Structure 1
Amino acid sequence: MPADLMKHFRFLNLFFAIIILAVLVQCKKDNHISGNAKNPSSETIKNDTVKKVEEIKPQITYSAFIFPTKKKDSAMAAFNKEFSEEERYTILALNRLDSKNKWRADTLAVPDIFDHTLMAYSPFPKNIETLKEVKKMVFFSYPIQAYALYESGKLIKWGPTSMGKKSAQTKRGLMFANWKKELAISTVDSDWKLPFNVNVHNTLGIGWHQYDLPGFPASHSCLRLLMDDAKYLYNWVDTWILNKGGATLKANGTPVIVFGDYQWGGKKPWKNLINNPVSNDISLDEMNEIIKPHLNKILREQKNREEVEAGSLVEE
């Protein structure tokens, strides 16, 4: 092709490219003027709305899984077949049972949504403003046989427990975590091994640890937990600080409040979830009433611990 003709074609290509670009720019402007273009502010609002919806606690409903007395084995087989191992763990935990004691089940409350962390089913308030200055806080509720952990007023974990039976009830009120031992031996019976034990009352020998959860308060005043929960609390909790000789207490550990009373001989509270999904919920007002008598002492002990820890760092 002659050089003059090549130049002519290049000029035409460049000319058409400029025309097409101009048309595209004008179309974009026209769309913006007519309101057809995406509105950035509207998109932001939409995203924010979705985010807020996701933060709302899901509405859980519960159905009953019944184990007839005369057909308990076949019902258990059906239970094992219908639900996965993780789902069974969740169901049993909500009914204050561990896998070892699932044979005790008669009627289980089964959620329609499964959350292995259990946080979707929490009966405790998500946030407690009263505790915003408290770094760590533990609660054990006798009425619903459950524990809760808070950090700066935010619920980070909750789960099932089995507390002291009627004849050996767990002491109520404010206590503090003392010492911990990865494997302790019960003072009641030397054959009882207590993994991940954290003592909260040294003279009475009360502590939390892993042990059987039979679906009701059954311990000799201790606070029984599932194995995974016992491990978590063991690693999370702060224990007391003693002097070098171990004879003097310099600072208390994480505060613990045990509160309320169990409906001895009555219907197990978690069975009420079948008819009323919020029947076990503890209101914010109730929690505040439990906390307020102890708050000043909790904050004093926390401040003292901070000073002791700061002094230890200076000495080092």
Structure 2
Amino acid sequence: MRQALVILTMVILTTTRLFAQGYVDQQAVYPLLETQIGDIDNVPKVDWEVYIYKDHNKKDGKGQWSELLAYIKDLPGEYTGDRRYVIELTNRVTGDNMKMGQKLLIPKSFPNDWRAYSPYPFQYAAATDMPKLFIIDKSTQTFGAYEYGKLVRWGLVSTGRNDDLTPVGRYNFNWKDDYRLSSEAPEGELWEMYWMFNFDARLGMHVHQYSLPIAYPASHGCVRVSEADAKWNFGWANGWSQSGGRVSRNGTPVMVIGHNPAGRPQQWNISGEGAVSSVDLPSNMESIPLGSYAQREADWASGQ
């Protein structure tokens, strides 16, 4: 009995720490996410350094949070927005949940393009011949969007929780709606989904805007993204074409990879004084199983 209580206590404490990372302030990060403009060839990739979150100078009266803000404000770079959100989204923790002594990854400069901070490769060779590809990585709880193998956008997601997983597989965007109520909501509750794009019609899985935990999968199988990313994908991705009740051409290909993280997702792993990307894209996309009935009527990669 005592052993069972100890295990239960550890589970509760782990879950509490995980859920205490905060939520993405979607309106505050909107301008940052919208900096992803133009050809990726013109975007510099940042270098990272490790910063210890603590009061480095107790005599200045600033405290650890004010010291961090002052430090990143003085770093070089063109991005003049609120740089704290680059730090929060990178480290998957909001400022009010940072812990004394925590190691944070800080860019050595702040380019004016959110893709500069991306864990996704700027070029994905396996997708070179594909007009569009939308990747959902459950391990890092992120997405990456490509056009002919070039990264055009990336961001954070919250996929299906452990008891209601978003299945790994190759899908396609099908149909969309700018507003819909979820049929999964308990009686008396309204779960409102904005800028929704379905990617499996039978399973009812969508990419849509909703409250977005910064550090854990929380949905009932759908994929939550920020308002800025949901609006962008709503206009960027293409749906299917049908003829005689059958799919004649699939929509934009979607690929779900990875597994739910055991703890807080990390798109970067600290390595020495820098960072290594945690995103691991398959060199052969056919190694990912087909995840939708629609590919029996039209080829998965036929989507535009």
Alignment partners' CA distance in 2, 1:150 and 1:188: 31
State the AA in 1 paired with 2:251.
G
Is the 8 Å Cα contact of residues 171 and 300 (structure 2) preserved in structure 1?
A: no
Note the alpha carbon deviations across 1:169-226, whole angstroms, 9 max, x for none. 1111101101111112122225121111111111211111112222211111111111
Report the counterpart of residue 283 of structure 2 in structure 1: 288
Query: SS state of the match for residue 139, structure 1?
Result: strand
Alignment partners' CA distance in 1, 2:269 and 2:283: 24
Alignment partners' CA distance in 2, 1:240 and 1:182: 17
State the AA in 2 paired with 1:230.
A
Report the counterpart of residue 114 of structure 2 in structure 1: 118
Report the counterpart of residue 15 of structure 2 in structure 1: none
Instruction: Say if 1:115 and 1:210 are closer, same or farther in 2 by CA, change over 3 A.
Output: farther
Alignment partners' CA distance in 2, 1:173 and 1:77: 44
What displacement does 1:66 show? 6.3
Percent identical among aligned pairs is 25
Instruction: Say if 1:191 and 1:274 are closer, same or farther in 2 by CA, change over 3 A.
Output: farther
What displacement does 1:140 show? 0.8
What displacement does 1:294 show? 5.8
Report the counterpart of residue 203 of structure 1 in structure 2: 202
Alignment partners' CA distance in 1, 2:157 and 2:288: 23
Instruction: Say if 1:274 and 1:222 are closer, same or farther in 2 by CA, change over 3 A.
Output: farther
State the AA in 1 paired with 2:168.
R
Is the 8 Å Cα contact of residues 242 and 249 (structure 2) preserved in structure 1?
A: yes
Alignment partners' CA distance in 1, 2:202 and 2:97: 33
TM-score, normalization: structure 2?
0.66
Task: Give unpaired runs (5+ residues) of structure 2.
Answer: 1-41, 56-62, 74-79
Is the 8 Å Cα contact of residues 196 and 230 (structure 1) preserved in structure 2?
A: yes
Which residue among 162, 169, 177 is the counterpart of 1:166? 162
What displacement does 1:134 show? 0.7
Is the 8 Å Cα contact of residues 146 and 153 (structure 2) preserved in structure 1?
A: yes
Is the 8 Å Cα contact of residues 87 and 116 (structure 1) preserved in structure 2?
A: no
Instruction: Say if 1:169 and 1:149 are closer, same or farther in 2 by CA, change over 3 A.
Output: same
Note the alpha carbon deviations across 1:22-74, whole angstroms, 9 max, x for none. xxxxxxxxxxxxxxxxxxxxxxxxxxxxxxxx87633222424469xxxxxx8
Instruction: Say if 1:103 and 1:227 are closer, same or farther in 2 by CA, change over 3 A.
Output: farther
Is the 8 Å Cα contact of residues 131 and 147 (structure 2) preserved in structure 1?
A: yes
State the AA in 1 paired with 2:287.
P
**After alignment, is 176-185 or 57-66 more displaced?**
57-66
Instruction: Say if 1:142 and 1:277 are closer, same or farther in 2 by CA, change over 3 A.
Output: farther
Is the 8 Å Cα contact of residues 94 and 270 (structure 1) preserved in structure 2?
A: yes
**After alignment, is 132-141 or 114-123 more displaced?**
114-123
Instruction: Say if 1:195 and 1:96 are closer, same or farther in 2 by CA, change over 3 A.
Output: farther
Alignment partners' CA distance in 2, 1:110 and 1:102: 14
State the AA in 2 paired with 1:248.
R
Alignment partners' CA distance in 1, 2:91 and 2:191: 24
Alignment partners' CA distance in 1, 2:220 and 2:159: 8
Report the counterpart of residue 259 of structure 1 in structure 2: 257
Query: SS state of the match for residue 278, structure 1?
Result: strand
* Structure-to-structure mapping, 1:29-40, within 5 angstroms: none
Q: Report how many residues are paired.
A: 238
Alignment root-mean-square deviation, CA: 3.4
Tell me if 1:155 matches 2:151.
yes
Task: Give unpaired runs (5+ residues) of structure 1.
Answer: 1-53, 68-73, 307-316
Query: SS state of the match for residue 174, structure 2?
Result: coil
* Structure-to-structure mapping, 1:1-316, within 5 angstroms: 57-65=45-53, 86-96=82-92, 103-106=96-99, 109-115=105-111, 117-189=113-185, 190-214=189-213, 215-243=215-243, 247-265=245-263, 267-270=264-267, 272-273=269-270, 277-282=274-279, 286-289=281-284, 291-293=285-287, 300-303=299-302
TM-score, normalization: structure 1?
0.63
What displacement does 1:79 show? 6.6
